[in-house]
Structure 1
Amino acid sequence: MTVGSEAVSPPARAPRRRRGVRRLSRRDKTVAALLLGIPLLLDLVFIWLPALGSVGLSFTKWNGVGGLHAKACLPNVPSILNNGCLYGVQNYHQAATIYPEFWPAVRHNLIWLAVFILVATPLGMLFAVLIDRGIKGSRMYQSALFLPVMLSLALIGIIWEFLYSQNFGLINTVLGRNGNSNAIDWLGDPHLNLWAVLVEATWRQAGYVMVLYLAGLKAVDPTLREAARVDGANAWQTFWRVIFPTMRPINIVILVVTVIESLRAFDLVYITNKGINGLELLSVLVTSNIVGETQRVGFGSALGVVLLVISLVPISVFLFQTFRREEAR
């Protein structure tokens, strides 16, 4: 007798349950609130409140807490903290018309920016290209060129003072003018000190730009180089026609960083001669008016607002380009 075998059907699968959104517990909400709230609070306290406070103070004539009573204010205006008053746009008008150091400071900042763009940035790009090609000793060169970036600007100023010193400096010693009447006063001569300090700043900025360009070069697709080599392009043509256009985001970042660094330059000139006698900069004028002997807080705040507005221009351009590129994708 044959026994028929019945086909065994596979067990029916249980219907999949749709995964629901996991509800956050009270502990998760507390942790998220702390992680978001603490940085936001610090940002408000240390960045936004001082910035908005400076904008407000720029429309006042205030000599600081405990200062002398402000005089020559506009008529019929309310008093502020018993030693200041609302002053309108008079601080900005005085800065542009009767403050003698304002326009020289603007000119020096523009010279600083031009040197960074025309000298420091090409040097940093050249260093990055040479190191990226894997020359012998590239690690050593990279460390040596990046060393000034790791040093504080105050220390860089002290190092270069030993080089520029009129009495025992290395440069005057090499020129044979050390300790005599023909010694060059690199940091005291108003016709030379700006360019001498710019050499210090360029020494540091070139290393910074080199690191940024190295990061951009490492991110370039190697197949682009191979394709250019197959097409018969030499190293110069490969870089300018293939590699450089692909580093457009890095170029924008470097441009923004260069503008900001040139506007906030402070340490080197303040160490040299406190930003006077040919080294006037906007950042130094802000400091000298707010915490200096005169303590014209309202006027110094107006200069700080001018510096802030100038700084926001390249940042706004960078953000506009970035968001437009993201929308295009």
Structure 2
Amino acid sequence: MVSATKEMTNPPAVSPRRRRRGTHTLSTRDKWVAAALLGIPLLLDLAFVWFPALASVLLSFTKWTGVGAIHLEPCRNTATLPGIPQPGCLFGVQNYHQAFTVYPDFWPAVRHNAIWLLVFILLATPLGMLFAVIIDRGIRGSRIYQSLLFLPVMLSLALIGIIWELIYSPNYGLINSILGRTANENLIDWLGNPRLNLWAILAEATWRQAGYVMVLYLAGLKAFDPALREAAIVDGASSWQTFWRVTFPVLRPINIVILVVTVIESLRAFDLVFITAKGNPLKGLELLSIAVTQNIVGETQRIGFGSTLGVILLVISLVPISIFLYQTFRKEKRA
């Protein structure tokens, strides 16, 4: 009886092995592997994204031409002519003032980027949505159509530029050959005419963007509950009413993603224009990304001013990204 009481008052000690059951201590090798898996991508991100972005912000306040030291001292003569390289020095907001008031290509570039955005929203996005809805209905040969429409997205932009250059060529292009405008006296210069070249490039970009939007909408339609569509049909709704009042509101998260992607794609438009113009500035094809490239790696080598244009483009791009993040985090808080 006494021994039983002692056992009750002094329970047997739990072995250390049983106490540590369920916990796992990382070995030194595991810690090094985890540090490498996290550290290497972080270093690459800092080196190729954040450091260039911060460097561009700092250089945007200078008149650095890429040669010589960058002296962070205020410029005394602020009435210099644009385009004339000045010694590197802190130039305050004069670069931004020149971008908005003096630089001749800035506002045409902003206008062309805005046109690019409107064409993507009003033409490429509805086309991609239409393709997705038709293919989602399971028509005959839908997989073939889906592959053909998505093919421009998989092709490189350089190849797309070459394909459309053959289509737009004044002498032997497909369009002029069909129209019978291949003679020297009645040629249509689709890429050289400032009134036509932007719309010609937008046709190329829309051809590619519509396939990308189609894939995003197809992903949303595959996750759509068909019972909602069947219930709407039972209630007497037409196909058009079912789509706009039932399907489209459910696709709201996809719509936000597509809107953000569309804005970013229209702002960073560069490749097709650069390939078409072969690196030379063409009238009618001014874009913010082209202006940045011409000032940083062009003949003038105005790295400070080019960085200013890059910062302006960065700030404009951050607006849709911030809206997207705000909507995402607000949705998570509500959930």
Instruction: State the Cα distance separating 1:31 from its structure 2 match.
Output: 1.5
Corresponding residue of 2:125: 121
1:179 aligns with 2:153: no
1:269 aligns with 2:270: no
| Residue pair 2:192, 2:282 contacting (<8 A) in 1 also | no
Corresponding residue of 1:245: 249
Instruction: State the Cα distance separating 1:229 from its structure 2 match.
Output: 2.0
CA deviation vs aligned residue, 1:235-277 (integer Å, no higher than 9, x gap): 1111111111111111000000000000010011112223421
| Residue pair 1:168, 1:179 contacting (<8 A) in 2 also | no
Corresponding residue of 2:297: 291
| Residue pair 2:296, 2:307 contacting (<8 A) in 1 also | yes
| Residue pair 1:146, 1:211 contacting (<8 A) in 2 also | yes
Corresponding residue of 1:162: 166
Instruction: State the Cα distance separating 1:162 from its structure 2 match.
Output: 0.7
TM-score w.r.t. structure 2 length? 0.88
CA distance in structure 2 between the aligned counterparts of 1:160 and 1:239, rounded to whole angstroms? 35
| Residue pair 2:68, 2:88 contacting (<8 A) in 1 also | no
Q: 2:329 aligns with which of 319, 323, 326?
A: 323
Instruction: State the Cα distance separating 1:232 from its structure 2 match.
Output: 1.8
CA deviation vs aligned residue, 1:149-182 (integer Å, no higher than 9, x gap): 0111111111111111111111011111113311
CA distance in structure 1 between the aligned counterparts of 2:308 and 2:319, rounded to whole angstroms? 17
Corresponding residue of 1:30: 32
Corresponding residue of 1:141: 145
Corresponding residue of 1:301: 307
1:106 aligns with 2:110: yes
Q: Which moved more, 1:270-279 or 1:159-168?
A: 270-279
Q: 2:216 aligns with which of 186, 198, 212?
A: 212
Provide closer, same or farther for how the CA distance between residues 199 and 275 of structure 1 changes in structure 2, counting only shifts above 3 A.
farther
CA deviation vs aligned residue, 1:47-67 (integer Å, no higher than 9, x gap): 000000000000000000359
CA distance in structure 2 between the aligned counterparts of 1:158 and 1:87, rounded to whole angstroms? 42
CA distance in structure 1 between the aligned counterparts of 2:178 and 2:314, rounded to whole angstroms? 42
**What is the identity, as a one-letter code, of the residue corresponding to 1:117?**
I
Within-5 A mapping of 1:48-127: 48-65=50-67, 74-75=75-76, 83-127=87-131
CA RMSD of aligned residues (A): 2.1
Tell me the number of residue pairs that the alignment of Structure 1 and Structure 2 aligns.
308
Within-5 A mapping of 1:182-201: 182-201=186-205
Q: Which moved more, 1:57-66 or 1:307-316?
A: 57-66
| Residue pair 2:64, 2:302 contacting (<8 A) in 1 also | yes
CA distance in structure 1 between the aligned counterparts of 2:259 and 2:230, rounded to whole angstroms? 29
CA distance in structure 2 between the aligned counterparts of 1:286 and 1:297, rounded to whole angstroms? 9
Can you give the 5+ residue segments of structure 2 that lack an aligned partner in the other structure? 1-13, 79-85
Instruction: State the Cα distance separating 1:225 from its structure 2 match.
Output: 1.5
